[in-house]
Structure 1
Amino acid sequence: MKRMCFAMAVSSVVTMSSFVSVNALAAPPIEGAWQLSQAGDISKQLENAVEEVVSDMNFFVRSFARPVLKKETKVCQTWQILLDSKTVLWQCDDESASELPANALRYETKAEDDKDRTIYNTVQFDEKSLTIELASERGTRTNYWLLTDPNTLEYTATLESEKLPKPLTWTLTYKR
């Protein structure tokens, strides 16, 4: 249901924004549907990012850490983003849309995979960027979308944890 409502809302925003001249009523440029447009081998890029982090770990821990970190480096073929003064919605591919209050500052939710785990969500955005930080006792995931030109969006994910010797970071490029 959430996915369907989100798709309809994004469609409405995109349609409406094409009719509205650039003014206060126009949708922020970062909104809309974005398709993966990455140059090079994405799987190799993500594998290198994981290896850079696990190379500093104890030999025995590496074999456990690799699959966990690889699972966290999921690549979205499509991002959909919708922002307004009250709500931020974002959706990866056909997954359920995620929704947070636009002014979220340590806004509490429960993890989908573990209802006993509390996630503290923080949202920051403007016309050209969106940052969503999800923090729990396991660590922090920061999703950062940056509009680099009117048709190009860079997505950077950063995972930080006491269990990692350094942050795991990767960046992908998307086009309208």
Structure 2
Amino acid sequence: MNAFVVFASVLAVASAGVPLAYNGLGYAVAGGPVSSQYQAQDELGQYSYGYAGGPSAKSEVRTADGVTRGGYSYIDANGIVQQVQYVADPVNGFRVAATNLPVAPVAGPAVVAAAPVALAAAPVAYSAGPVHIAALPLPPADTPEVTAAKIQHAHAHAEALARSG
């Protein structure tokens, strides 16, 4: 079907006031939820806008103090609703919380007993109890080439010290 005919059909249905929804193939079909959008702005730089309809929605607000807050949601390729909330300001920058962000693997906690700590202002000693520390990554091991270069450098350094002193 011609893209112009599809667009014209969607435009005709939308202008007739029939609500539109989107099927799994991304085509608009009649009979779904009503789409809406809004926008407001003032002379101080504050604004508010958003939309809802089809497979997604978004809203964002910026206040006079320079803080922008917003969020959006959409249906991903697996049919799961993903939600994102964000805040941006001049002090802390951009921060986001979302359902689709990757999560780091959780290592089993290592338990380390803390030694007693004597507080200067208190007459009694304080014991912190067990502390949970995540396993730290090991430093990279030297390759044989790096080990040989370190040995060669150490010999050259020792020779230079012997000649100078």
**Shorter-chain TM-score: which interval?**
0.3 to 0.5
Give me the TM-score of the superposition, normalised by structure 2.
0.35
Question: TM-score if structure 1 supplies the norm length?
Answer: 0.33
Higher relative contact order (CA 8 A, sep 6+): 1
